[in-house]
Amino acid sequence: MKTEDQTEALERIETRVSPADRARIGAAAVARHEESVARFVQRAALKEADDVLGREVDVTRMPVDQFEDLMAALDRPAEPIPEVVQLAASDGAFSRR
């Protein structure tokens, strides 16, 4: 059975690393129970690409207790902040022409 990656033509990406870096990457791949070092490197590169391109903007990771505090704060009624109310009522530094 072919995976999604195998249904389209694949391209090779090559890189050179020091023996120490190769050993470190290999150890990390084993620690993650990856099927191969190449697959580990591919996943790591794709994750970094997604981070750079902002593709995970819909995911926010935080501890459960912090999330529960956030949700509780969002459920509380809003309280006006006098300084913000005053700023919103002012003309501000810019005006429309």
84 pLDDT above the threshold of 80: yes
Q: Which pTM was predicted?
A: 0.50
Residues 34 and 47: beta-carbon distance below 8 Å? no
Q: What pLDDT, in 10s, does the model give residues 16-53?
A: 999 999 999 999 999 999 999 999 999 999 999 988 88
Q: What does the pLDDT average to over 65-91?
A: 92
Per residue in 8-25, is it b (16+ CB within 10 Å) or e — as a string?
eeeeeeeeeeeeeeeeee
Q: Would you state the pLDDT for residue 88?
A: 86
CA angle 63/64/65 to nearest 5° reads 95
pLDDT digits (tens, 9 = 90+) for 63-76: 999 999 999 999 99
